[in-house]
């Protein structure tokens, strides 16, 4: 019988043991090399991301623009921040309009270090009410306090134009530009971004009114809301009361009174329907009907400490002539990449989304867009290549589209119906 002798079997076993030991050592060495490579790469990437900084230009110093600047500072990825506005400080801060910050915006601003206890205003139902100028002045003071962390430069009285860009050396161009110059700004056209908007219905009708009374104080006041309102328009030839008793008819109008005592504003809105009242108020050529509706509504729901509107003071009120369809317009391109100059551009506030109906909560829609700006700046600063920047821009555009969709579904419900 053929077979291995004892010596040959021993030699074969020793060789096999050596082979196993060699394979084990090789695998262990490879594993250690891979682990070391991954550790070094992660460390280097982490160090690079930690060191990564970009320059940011914010065009517009309204509430949204200044908040965007604060977001940039808080991101920890900004080396230099420039805020640009064609208005001078006095013109910018004297705006009398009141803004109302809802709980979501309040929470967002608290996360940015805003201390509402040190800002002139008032609280009501977890909402904060203040004047635009007061809010802007406060944000400017925060930016000035952060100059030791970031190179902050606020250039007021300077318009963003092609000439302005040409004066900046290409090597010093900002890596991120945030356009927040409002619905009438032309910064997007300067940057070559399309001015096309998508206009979509919010499935509601509304009207607005404003009253300026110089004998009243310019102090923030909580809003007043009234719901399920019906109007007797029989004096104008329409028997509205008969329709109101119909239980199949949708609920009536929602009213909001807001603003300071000096600059009083009203918003009237109803869900889209084809009732006789809605058709009448949408088509009537009589401009005095809407004024009388606002007149009677204001006197019925105003605060006890402010004077009534009388026939003598009625001329102080400006209002919509009739009901109009409430629509949201949002820019089709809200983020872009200027490839030759390696600049990422995002559009925020009313430059990106505009509602043709004033609810007194318009600034909150702009704040929603800023919730993704911090992450966008971080991704842009730490991008390895152009693909990373394009991914960040794509995510930002997706967020903007989602904001528009969400507002169409729930925006009026949150700011008017509830």
Domain with residue 104: its CATH number is 3.50.50.60
Q: Tokens 């204001």, residue?
A: 298
- Window from 25-29, 269-273, 399-403 with minimum mean pLDDT: 25-29
Residues 58 and 191 in one domain: yes
Per residue in 270-319, pLDDT (tens digit) is 999 888 899 999 999 998 999 999 999 999 999 999 989 887 677 789 99
Burial (0-12, 13-18, 19+ Cβ within 10 Å), 328: buried
Residues 205 and 190 in one domain: no
With H, G, I as helix, E, B as strand and everything else as coil, classify residue 335.
strand
- Closest alpha carbon to 210 in 135, 268, 130, 279: 268
Which residue has better confidence, 31 or 221? 221
Residues 31 and 74 in one domain: no
Task: Please answer whether residues 131 and 220 qualify as being in contact, where contact means their C-beta atoms are separated by less than 8 angstroms.
Answer: yes
On the question of pLDDT at 47 being above 50, the answer is no
Per residue in 194-214, pLDDT (tens digit) is 989 999 999 999 999 999 988
Total number of domains constituting the chain = 3
Residues 360 and 402 in one domain: yes
Residues 101 and 176 in one domain: yes
Residues 175 and 27 in one domain: no
- Choosing from 263, 297, 326, the residue where a domain stops is 326
Residues 184 and 61 in one domain: yes
Q: What does pTM read for this prediction?
A: 0.85
Question: How far apart are the C-alpha atoms of 138 and 371, rounded to whole Å?
Answer: 20
Question: How far apart are the C-alpha atoms of 28 and 263, rounded to whole Å?
Answer: 77
Residues 365 and 317 in one domain: no
- Window from 80-89, 186-195, 307-316, 396-405 with minimum mean pLDDT: 307-316
Residues 190 and 208 in one domain: no
- Choosing from 305, 326, 347, the residue where a domain stops is 326
- Choosing from 9, 32, 51, the residue where a domain stops is 51
Residues 339 and 312 in one domain: no
Which residues constitute the domain of residue 359? 54-196+332-417
Q: What percent of the chain has pLDDT over 70?
A: 89
- Closest alpha carbon to 57 in 65, 48, 47, 46: 65
Residues 358 and 412 in one domain: yes
Residues 363 and 282 in one domain: no
Question: How far apart are the C-alpha atoms of 93 and 159, rounded to whole Å?
Answer: 17
Task: Please answer whether residues 296 and 288 qualify as being in contact, where contact means their C-beta atoms are separated by less than 8 angstroms.
Answer: no
């Amino acid at each position: 019988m053929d077979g291995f002798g004892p010596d040959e079997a021993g030699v074969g076993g020793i060789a096999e043991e050596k082979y196993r030991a060699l394979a084990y050592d090789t695998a262990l060495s490879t594993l250690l090399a891979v682990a070391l490579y991954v550790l070094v790469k992660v460390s280097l990437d982490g160090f690079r991301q930690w060191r990564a900084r970009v320059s940011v230009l914010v065009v517009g110093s309204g509430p949204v623009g200044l908040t965007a600047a604060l977001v940039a500072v808080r991101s920890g990825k900004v080396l230099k921040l420039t805020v640009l506005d064609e208005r001078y400080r006095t013109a910018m801060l004297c705006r009398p309009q009141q803004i109302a910050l809802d709980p979501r915006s309040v929470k967002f601003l608290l996360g940015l270090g805003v201390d509402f206890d040190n800002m002139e205003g008032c609280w009501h139902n977890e909402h904060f009410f203040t004047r635009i100028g007061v809010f802007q002045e406060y944000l400017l003071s925060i930016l000035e306090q952060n100059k030791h962390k970031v190179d902050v430069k606020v250039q007021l009285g300077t318009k963003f134009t092609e000439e302005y860009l040409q004066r900046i050396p290409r090597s010093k161009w900002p890596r991120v530009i945030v356009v927040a110059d409002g619905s009438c700004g032309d910064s997007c056209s300067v940057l070559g971004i399309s001015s096309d908007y998508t206009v979509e219905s919010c499935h509601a009708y509304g009207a607005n009114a404003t009253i300026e009374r110089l004998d009243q104080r310019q102090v923030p006041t909580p809003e007043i809301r009234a719901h399920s309102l019906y109007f007797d328009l029989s004096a104008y030839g329409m028997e509205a009361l008969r329709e109101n008793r119909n239980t199949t008819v949708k609920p009536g109008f929602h009213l909001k009174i807001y603003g300071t005592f000096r600059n009083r504003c009203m918003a009237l809105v109803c869900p889209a329907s084809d009732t006789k009242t809605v058709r009448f108020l949408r088509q009537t050529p009589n401009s005095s009907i809407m004024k009388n509706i606002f007149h009677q509504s204001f006197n019925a729901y105003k605060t006890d400490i402010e004077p009534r509107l009388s026939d003598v003071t009625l001329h102080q009120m400006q209002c919509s002539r009739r009901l109009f369809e409430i629509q949201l317009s949002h820019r089709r391109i809200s983020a872009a990449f200027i490839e030759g100059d390696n600049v990422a551009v995002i559009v925020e506030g009313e430059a990106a989304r505009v509602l043709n109906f004033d609810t007194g909560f318009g600034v909150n829609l702009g704040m929603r867009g800023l919730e993704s700006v911090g992450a966008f700046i971080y991704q842009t600063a730490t991008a390895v290549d152009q693909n990373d920047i394009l991914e960040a821009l794509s995510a930002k555009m997706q967020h903007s589209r989602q904001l528009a969709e969400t507002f169409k579904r729930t925006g009026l419900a949150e700011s008017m119906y509830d």
